[in-house]
A and B are shown apart, each in its own frame.
Chain A
């Protein structure tokens, strides 16, 4: 917490221990392994001791033991072993403050990506690689879902396993892919764009990252415990999840806590970085829109995420301690869960979209060679979405049996959200209008996003109208909406961002041909997969079912086949990323001729980004304005002649 303020600077003495001791007791994977076991054991011991002391029987009750030792204590041991807490422990024990020797900064070999690193660029890459892995796992689960749904009846999985498949699919996609992938891209880009050397709290940043694999492994591993994975949907509604599910439900409850903690820490870090570390001249109205987007998203995260933490705590307590939050037989209130959950999870859908809006603004301005149309309104509409976003949660509960008077006000606020979003869509169109469009892969994904997100948003507006929602709620129409906004919206922007910053992150160019192939395959397969879902939804196919009426068989077969093509298109992306990272053409520092600061330094950027903090003198998108500059850098940064924008 006091990471930034160093009260005293005393150089550390080099470690005098022998190589073996350093090997076992030095921060790293070995220490992580034994500390994981050690803490797990301590957690086990304490739980048993407490149950014995408190006279609770049976003393060896699986649920609290698994929860406290495996899901809480052991991960803390893992983090401590890796060394995420080293500095703070050192500080807390009253040693003189260690001077920053930057040993945890920057990457010199691939090994540096596998340890606690405090460099925001390394952390950004760590985030992206990790989240893509979880995307693949989540996508594989979706493939299994589609295999099961290809024909009516149950073929491959029993119903409980099927419920587990889509629950883990959605949880991974949301909590371990979309949200952290945006955090990863922003981690890489935001400090550079601000003209800062790093985030405000680099060690906290590293900790945030390392919480993620824990959450992901927890959710995936729930498949391997007796009685199977949590199978109550990613929404985990009580009382199903809180008292009618096997142990797997707790893996979900606790996994969400780790992911949520990671989110909150990252958001705090972004907010502080953006408020206190902007380069001189970088006023709020000169910040690139990606920075704006992450500023507003971070506000959402800081305010809303504690609510999902609360909802999962309650659900978990009901499960493990037999409390009565949502147990009506015992004085609880079952609908309370949904109110608390959606108070987070509606804002969460904007947490999954606003950073994407930011990426879009960067990409669209650069590849249209025009300033963003209505820059200020773009930033203000982000704020408007944040504010409105907190007032619409009950649109997920129109048929839930909540107080009926709440429906119309919530409908009105829900519909109003279309207005700031529309402003953004139309402003992007106006930016493209009359531009000089360069159809590189990021821009293709941006255009794909523009059209697909509008479809998803419009189906959202239809859902916002209560009578329509009453008919289509919990049908495949919702599944279609989800994927149009999340895949056609968020995932398209993530792809665009990954292609866009790929040269900056790796120092190499990706293959433009493969990128375009990836886009077209994805675009077509995506529409074939998800568009028919609207149709079977309104016709009467409910969601979350392994088995369905035979009359939907033809469409489902078509959807499943298209979804396999969609899966295959991801392989093109993977191949492109891996081969280009190893053998791609060396990237110039500014291949897109962009004005924002991250492109004014070498690719990849130097360890500390800038030798001297740049001086910002103008807006970030002044394309076409004669003689306009965004910032002045010291001469040592002077970049080569702007390279061609590839075809």
Chain B
């Protein structure tokens, strides 16, 4: 302890060495990709549960008397997919130093994501079954719920990005914040398409 403390006495005069980057990819973007890899595995675990209940156990889908509002979910899907495009617009705008496109794109994305989430919650409230009603409701709620949580996290990130965009913190040279949040948002969208297909359509 004592020795350790002494060695650090003159700490404030020190500065970190200039870092050396041994890869062309930016650390934060690589980190985000790896994190998404981990997220995909988390969804994988939930899809495995889905597989066991639906394929191995052969649970009827949806189990009568329940049914799923496929039409509503389809509209919701369209909203979420569109939001991916507005997100992309925001990113290309900031790369071209176009603050209007950035702000409008982020705001639109955020609003569409919010619409999606609210619709989802409304769907839960009216769907007519609850988590304890058997294996089909269990899997339905867990897959859409897990995705819902990701939308929530995505929206939080989007909110932060929007605030920063309106304060003018991003420009063509500094847009990592937008890029990373955007990658996450695209991932959330893609995952929804998978969830939608497996839970509602198949």
Contacts and interface: CB of A to CB of B under 8 A. Distances in A.
Given A5-B176, A277-B21, A307 B16 contact: no
B170 interface: yes
B35 interface: yes
A562 B64 CA distance: 61
A359 B101 CA distance: 52
Interface residues of A, number: 79
B176 A336 contact: no
B47 to A, nearest CB: 9
Contacts of A97: 169
Interface string B2-27: 11110111010011111111110111
Interface in A157-199: 195-198
Contacts of B32: 1
Contact of A2 (B23, B138, B180): B180
Interface string A586-623: 10000000000000001010111111110000000000
Interface stretch (B37-45, B102-110, B185-193): B37-45
A339 B2 CA distance: 50
B5 A109 contact: yes
A311 B48 CA distance: 10
Interface stretch (A22-30, A298-306, A490-498, A565-573): A298-306
Contact of A607 (B14, B52, B135, B163): B14
A235 B71 CA distance: 42
A543 interface: no
B38 A305 contact: yes
Interface stretch (B53-61, B73-81, B82-90, B112-120): B53-61
Contact of B177 (A7, A340, A606): A7
Contact of A331 (B1, B18, B53): B53
Contact of B22 (A3, A93, A277, A317): A277
Nearest to B157: A1
Contact of A276 (B15, B25, B132, B138): B25
Contacts of A611: 17
A501 to B, nearest CB: 13
A197 B17 contact: yes
Contacts of B22: 275-280, 282
B167 interface: yes
B174 interface: yes
Nearest to A581: B1
A324 B135 CA distance: 5
Contacts of A276: 21-23, 25-27, 30
A92 B160 contact: yes
Chain A interface helix/strand/loop/mixed: loop
B31 interface: yes
Contacts of B198: none
Interface in A266-308: 268-269, 271-272, 275-280, 282, 302-307
B49 interface: yes
B141 interface: yes
Contacts of B16: 102, 197-198, 608
Contacts of A582: 1-2
Contact of B53 (A3, A197, A322, A333): A333
B96 interface: no
B34 interface: yes
Contacts of A271: 30, 34
A508 interface: yes
A507 B7 contact: yes
A273 B35 CA distance: 14
Contacts of B31: 1, 200-201, 268-269, 272
A277 B20 contact: yes
Interface in A1-35: 1-5, 7-8
A183 B1 CA distance: 22
Contacts of A62: none
B67 interface: no
B68 interface: no
Interface in A465-498: none
Given A96-B169, A336-B52, A608-B17, A272 B34 contact: yes
A5 B26 contact: yes
B135 A339 contact: no
A381 interface: no
A192 B185 CA distance: 35
Interface string A88-118: 0001111011000010001111100000000
A40 to B, nearest CB: 21
B46 interface: yes
A607 B8 CA distance: 7
A5 B19 contact: no
B27 A201 contact: yes
Contact of A333 (B25, B27, B57, B136): B57
B142 A604 contact: no
Contact of A310 (B2, B42, B131): B42
A325 interface: yes
A445 interface: no
Contacts of B157: 1
Given A106-B8, A330-B135, A325 B1 contact: no
A532 B9 CA distance: 53
User: Which of A8, A323, A325 has the most chain B CB within a 10 Å cutoff?
Assistant: A323
A336 B59 CA distance: 14
Nearest to A302: B38
B171 to A, nearest CB: 8
Contacts of B38: 264, 268, 302-303, 305-306
Interface of B: 1-5, 7-9, 11, 14-23, 25-28, 30-32, 34-35, 37-39, 41-42, 44-46, 48-49, 52-53, 56-57, 59, 63, 131-132, 134-138, 141-142, 157, 160, 163-164, 166-167, 169-170, 174, 176-177, 180
List the 9 shortest-distance A-B pairs measured between CB atoms, nearest first: A310-B45, A331-B135, A306-B42, A507-B3, A336-B52, A7-B174, A278-B22, A306-B41, A94-B163
6 contacts: A196-B20, A197-B16, A275-B22, A317-B131, A324-B137, A602-B7
Given A96-B169, A331-B138, 8 more contacts: A106-B11, A302-B41, A307-B41, A323-B138, A323-B141, A604-B8, A607-B8, A612-B18
